[in-house]
Structure 1
Amino acid sequence: MTTAPSEFDRWVLRPAPRSAPALRLICVPFAGSGPAAFQGWSGLLPDSVEPWLLRLPGRESRFREEPRTDVAMVVKEAVTVLGPALDGRPYALFGHSLGALIAFELARELRRSYGREPAHLSVSARAAPHLPLRHAVVHRLPDDLFLDALDVRFNAIPPAIRDEPQMRALYLPVLRADVTLLETYAYTPEAPLDCPITAYGGTEDPEFRGQELEAWSRHTAASHRLRMFPGGHFFLNSQRAGLVSDLTDDLYRAMIP
């Protein structure tokens, strides 16, 4: 008899449970992805850090669920599960691209609903949330034009999504929903977070320039750091070891009282 997953397990994958972690690291994936975006991270992180990989509706193990198209909705749903599960231990957040935006709003919602701020926030390949969109809105375009626009912007649309009807039917709704999340997001001013923020970018990423990443400094009352890695928008794949090493240094600093 198969046991239905708990609500926590629906939302969070723990690939490497630690017996007594000093800190939990909540990782939020980029558009169209899920925990697989962080493959190999658990082996690179120290034993004192327990990775929690966020599972969003419509992706991977939750592919049968309707993907969300509103940032506030998905954040509130996630926080009702994450808040009680954090049980008083320190936590940090990392998000890449769309995941950076969601991670930022998770930090603010956890502060509002549970009085819990992260020890550190790391955001990657995403302009600061108060900045306006630089591109035309594309989430309502016909399928082929929509894929063309994403391919020009990110150079990351697999041929199978265009050429194989089953793959197209599976992934296109999730991609469209995620781009809708980005393009309909409305930033609401709030007090800066008390935790440090590190912003990461790719030196060859045409999407986000250094000043757009530097603008994350507005959202912390603590320190802000910008770190650039070689590569394009998905430098987190080619620079995985270096990125996780740099992130670990921040987490060690966050664990020191």
Structure 2
Amino acid sequence: MDKLITCLYRRPSATTRLICFPWAGGGSIYFAQWARLFDDSIEVYSVRLPGRESRSQEAFAQTMDQIVNEVTNTLLPKLHEKEFAFFGHSFGAFTSFATAVTLKQKHNLEPVHLFVSGVSAPHSESRSSVVKKSELSDEEFLRYMSEAGGTPKEILQNKDALQMFIPPLRADLRVVENFM
């Protein structure tokens, strides 16, 4: 489980687990630190996807099913222990939603709450785009990232940082572009 989940503050007596899913290209550390903001009744798990952090040598997920299957198979025993909620931001909103749907359909389990932010609904017309962002040239991709906002200028102007940041972002965009 430690391969997939970052939990910086173990709380065995917690009544609820908050399981957080990262944004496109993101890692697990940011959300794992949220546990400092909660009392002992909430334990925070943060999902670490292939291709980042301690999993940097692994290939990125190619499909939403790959992500959902790994999360579901890994967490299933833990999900029976106590109530759980999901939080996902942007790409994480899609992965948390897809995971919740799979858990309900295949295991008759569901989070007590699904918190999502930073993205339109999976069926929204705003998601339909003729141009797939993951297939843009590097120059067009950087322009898109700059215009979309949310990426610090320091990263966009640092070629070394971009070499680390762009591959997982493109991989996650490919997953979302082919989801639903």
Aligned length: 178
State which structure, 1 or 2, has the greater radius of gyration over its C-alpha atoms.
Answer: 1
- Provide the TM-score with structure 2 as the length reference: 0.90
Residue 134 of structure 1, CA deviation = 4.9
Q: Separation in 1 of the partners of 2:114 and 2:175? A: 20
Deviates more, 1:59-68 or 1:134-143: 134-143
Residue 49 of structure 1, CA deviation = 0.7
- Provide the TM-score with structure 1 as the length reference: 0.64
SS of aligned partner of 2:39: coil
Residue 158 of structure 1, CA deviation = 4.3
Q: Separation in 1 of the partners of 2:154 and 2:117? A: 25
Q: Is the 8 A contact 2:23 2:92 kept in 1?
A: yes
Q: Is the 8 A contact 1:33 1:60 kept in 2?
A: no
Q: Separation in 1 of the partners of 2:78 and 2:36? A: 23
2:50 counterpart of 1:65: no
Q: Which residue of 2 aligns with 1:87?
A: 80
Greater RCO (Cα-Cα under 8 Å, separation 6 or more): 2
Q: Separation in 2 of the partners of 1:40 and 1:73? A: 26
Residue 180 of structure 1, CA deviation = 0.9
Q: Which residue of 2 aligns with 1:142?
A: 137
Q: Which residue of 2 aligns with 1:23?
A: 16
The structure 1 residue matched to 2:179, chosen from 179, 185, 198, is 185
Segments of 5+ residues of structure 2 without an aligned counterpart are none
Q: Which residue of 2 aligns with 1:151?
A: 146
Deviations 1:154-179 (A, max 9, x none): 24154445532x43332221111011
Q: Separation in 1 of the partners of 2:15 and 2:60? A: 33
2:6 counterpart of 1:13: yes
Q: Which residue of 2 aligns with 1:42?
A: 35
SS of aligned partner of 1:42: helix
Q: Which residue of 2 aligns with 1:119?
A: 112
Q: Is the 8 A contact 1:29 1:98 kept in 2?
A: yes
Alignment of 1:219-230 (within 5 A): none
Segments of 5+ residues of structure 1 without an aligned counterpart are 1-7, 187-257
Q: Separation in 2 of the partners of 1:121 and 1:84? A: 19
The structure 2 residue matched to 1:51, chosen from 44, 55, 77, is 44
Deviations 1:226-249 (A, max 9, x none): xxxxxxxxxxxxxxxxxxxxxxxx
Q: CA RMSD in A?
A: 1.8
Q: Is the 8 A contact 1:30 1:37 kept in 2?
A: no
Identity of aligned residues (%): 33
Runs of 4+ off more than 4 Å: none
Deviations 1:108-130 (A, max 9, x none): 11122322111111011111112
**Aligned-partner residue type, residue 181 of structure 1:** V
